[in-house]
Amino acid sequence: MPERNNMTSINDKRKEENMEREPENIPTNHEILRDFMLHMQLANRSENTLETYSRLLNRFLYHTSIPIHEMTSDYVWEWLKEHGRDKKETTVATWISILSSFFTFCDNEGYIEGIPMKSRWRPRLPKPLPRYIGKEELAIIKIQSEAGNLRNQVLFEFLSSSGCRITEALMLDKNDINVEERTARVKGKGSKLRTVHFSHRCAILLEEHLKRLPEMSDGIFLNQHKRKLTRQGAHKILREMGETAQLVGAFGPHRLRHTFATSLLAKGAELSFISEELGHSQLSTTRVYARLLDEKLVTMYRKYMG
């Protein structure tokens, strides 16, 4: 308890110091944004999260001359209404979450007094079920991948048999792979390391792929410039596979991840094992797949039993 009181008094002192500053010494909006992004980096947020936050906050601050400490809830709400008019509710909900995090940081650091956000702004969204791919569709895409280059085959097979996030796969180096044991050491969210497993077919393809990689490069999935493939590049490869296979709906790495989890659950794997393989920090995140399987069973029953 004493430590908490000390932290509270430190934050209060910071606020007093910031409020007492001369106007010319008050940090600019972009200086505060830079502090916030540094805070996010130190909190080990993923590159994808940092990019999303930076893009939205730069957009929010770009066209205004109003200092952050003078922004009101009315101003923030009007901005959200104007820029979110044609956006999906999920997008606006993400924006509200990002702005809340930013203003909470500003309040904690003493840049503002009070957070100009209202909890009632958050739209109530139904929790969407993960979209997975059926066995037949997966087989068609696998055949399509075989028509491409070896790197793309390995990427598809590794993602579909390991359940990895795309960023985890793209960050892999040669020394992270154990072909014999069919395991890979990946760095997940919060820079947490874990071991994932991949299929026998993936091991065969990987072994051949590793032989062809340039000695000077550590990465596994490289572009034509011998640098690690970007998320955008990987998404493009998979999207084109899906289009060639005439797959219904968008096809990407996360859909393969959902397919991996759903398949394991259908085969009787325990939720705790699936959670560990996926790198979920909480079992509740994995339980959504059980709900998905329940709905699938109901659909099958109605189809065959009426």
Note the pLDDT tens digit of each residue in 128-171: 655 677 777 888 888 878 877 999 999 999 999 998 999 999 99
Choosing from 228, 255, 257, 258, the catalytic residue is: 257
Closest CA to 293 of 301, 282, 283: 301
Choosing from 151, 209, 228, 280, the catalytic residue is: 280
Q: Is 289 a catalytic residue?
A: yes
Closest CA to 266 of 93, 121, 133: 133
Choosing from 151, 165, 209, 258, the catalytic residue is: 165
At residue 291, the pLDDT reads 62
At residue 210, the pLDDT reads 95
Domains, in order of start, for the chain: 2-121 (1.10.150.130), 135-305 (1.10.443.10)
Tell me the β-bridge partners of 194.
186
Q: What is the mean pLDDT of residues 252-277?
A: 82
Q: Which pairing describes strands 183-187 and 177-178: parallel, antiparallel, or unpaired?
A: antiparallel
Choosing from 131, 235, 239, 254, the catalytic residue is: 254
Q: Determine the Cα–Cα distance for residues 10 and 17; give it in Å rounded to an integer.
A: 11
At residue 234, the pLDDT reads 92
Query: What is the full DSSP assignment across 158-193?
Result: HHHHH---HHHHHT-BGGGEETTTTEEEEE-GGG-E
Q: What is the mean pLDDT of residues 262-278?
A: 81
Choosing from 189, 231, 235, 287, the catalytic residue is: 189
Q: Determine the Cα–Cα distance for residues 40 and 19; give it in Å rounded to an integer.
A: 24
pTM (two decimals)? 0.55
Q: What is the mean pLDDT of residues 110-128?
A: 81
At residue 292, the pLDDT reads 58
CB atoms within 10 A of CB 64: 13
At residue 262, the pLDDT reads 81
Indicate the range of 67-81, 93-107, 265-279 predicted with least confidence.
265-279
Q: Is 30 a catalytic residue?
A: no
Closest CA to 188 of 277, 66, 300, 295: 277
pLDDT at 54 over 70: yes
Q: Is 257 a catalytic residue?
A: yes
Choosing from 53, 111, 132, 289, the catalytic residue is: 289
